[in-house]
Amino acid sequence: MGRILAIDYGRRRTGLAVTDPLRITANPLLTVETKDLVAWLHDYLAREQVDQVVIGHPTQMNGQESESMNYIRPFMGTFKKQFPDLPITMYDERFTSVLAHQAMLAGGMKRKDRQDKAAVDKIAACIILEDYLESIR
Q: What is the pLDDT along the chain (137 residues), one digit of tens a residue?
A: 899 999 999 999 999 999 999 999 999 999 999 999 999 999 999 999 999 999 998 877 677 777 888 999 999 999 999 999 999 999 887 655 555 545 555 556 555 554 556 677 888 899 899 889 988 87
Give the pLDDT of residue 99: 53
What is the CA angle 10-49-93, rounded to 5? Answer: 30
Give the pLDDT of residue 116: 53
What is the CA angle 46-80-118, rounded to 5? Answer: 65
C-alpha to C-alpha distance for 69 and 60, rounded to whole angstroms: 11
Give the pLDDT of residue 112: 56
Sheet holding 50-57, edge to edge: 26-33, 13-19, 3-8, 50-57, 88-92
Domain boundaries, the chain: 3-136
State in words which class domain 3-136 has. alpha beta
Give the pLDDT of residue 84: 97
**Nearest-10 crossing angle of helices 37-47, 69-82:** 40
Give the pLDDT of residue 74: 95
